[in-house]
Amino acid sequence: MLVVVRRPRTEFSLNGDVPRKLIQSLVSEYGPDNVKVEEDDMMNVEEMDWYKEEASKDTPGRALRFYRKLAGMTQPELAQKLGTTKQFVSNLENGIKPISRLMAKKLSETFNVPAARFI
């Protein structure tokens, strides 16, 4: 959302999620002719075809690899944190071994994300 306020010698704009109360206050202070509100014409990404296609490819192993790399960790480093081996982590990431509920809980705590992300 973009809110632009124009008055002689005064002009400012606000971008982002502007609270309705603030917009109402600006309209009250500067008048409706001097406050312009532009709503974003954005589409929900989850409704886009390319997102649906990519989401269908998403697996628990890919999520694990994503969060591991996001944390800047190597497979051996993650294995050490989890008390397992690098090969086991590799097998989880490549879908060779399924991620158990217990392992999902450990991963959830390690990366501070919901456990459901790994199941």
Q: What is the pLDDT, as a whole number, of residue 101?
A: 95
pTM exceeding 0.85: no
Report which of residues 50 and 64 the model is more confident about: 64
76 in Cβ contact with 90 (< 8 Å): no
Q: Which helix (H) or strand (E) holds 14?
A: strand 10-15
Identify the CA nearest to 119 among candidates 13, 102, 17.
102
Question: What are the pLDDT digits (tens) for 73-102?
Answer: 999 999 999 999 999 999 999 999 999 999
H/E run at residue 72: none
Domain CATH code at residue 92: 1.10.260.40
Residues 58 and 94 in one domain: yes
3 state SS of 21: helix
Q: Are residues 76 and 112 in the same domain?
A: yes
Give tens-digit pLDDT for 21-45. Answer: 888 888 888 888 888 888 776 777 7
With H, G, I as helix, E, B as strand and everything else as coil, classify residue 24: helix
In terms of Cα–Cα distance, which of 117, 95, 98 is closest to 107?
A: 117
Query: What's the residue count for the chain?
Result: 119
What is the count of structural domains for the chain? 2
